[in-house]
């Protein structure tokens, strides 16, 4: 069984995620795109784990960690977005250039 198709799937998902992160104006959609990228990474991790026949299944363990972290990140990210939305009445990331300060 080849690993290629999993990697191609991961790459496609990752690319979609990147595209989403860079182009979506809505902060919620940006967060969702980030989730896509994380999912692509998870696929890669699990695929390589199987491919290398890792007896300790480190790839799968990492994938579990990534899922956990992603859940936490989305939780915090949505909270921030909500707060910003409340203050700015907008979820458009183009209007958020506070990092420049």
Q: Which residues bind other proteins (CB under 8 A)?
A: 18, 21-22, 30, 93-94, 96-101
Rounded Cα gap, residues 15 and 26, in angstroms:
18
Which residue is it, tokens 């250039």?
97
Closest contact distance (angstroms) between CB of 91 and other proteins is 13
Tokens at 54, concatenated? 């890792």
Q: Between residues 21 and 64, which has the closer beta carbon with respect to other proteins?
A: 21
Whose CA is closest to 33, among 93, 99, 95, 96? 93
Q: Between residues 55 and 100, which has the closer beta carbon with respect to other proteins?
A: 100
Q: Between residues 20 and 59, which has the closer beta carbon with respect to other proteins?
A: 20
């Amino acid at each position: 069984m080849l690993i290629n198709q999993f990697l191609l799937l991961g790459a496609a998902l990752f690319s979609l995620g990147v595209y989403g992160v860079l182009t979506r104006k809505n902060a919620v959609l940006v967060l969702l795109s980030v989730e896509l990228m994380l999912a692509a990474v998870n696929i890669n991790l699990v695929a390589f784990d199987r491919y290398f026949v890792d007896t300790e299944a480190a790839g799968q363990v990492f994938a579990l960690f990534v899922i956990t972290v992603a859940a936490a990140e989305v939780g915090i990210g949505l909270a921030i977005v909500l707060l910003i939305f409340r203050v700015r009445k907008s979820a458009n990331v183009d209007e958020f250039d506070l990092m420049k300060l």
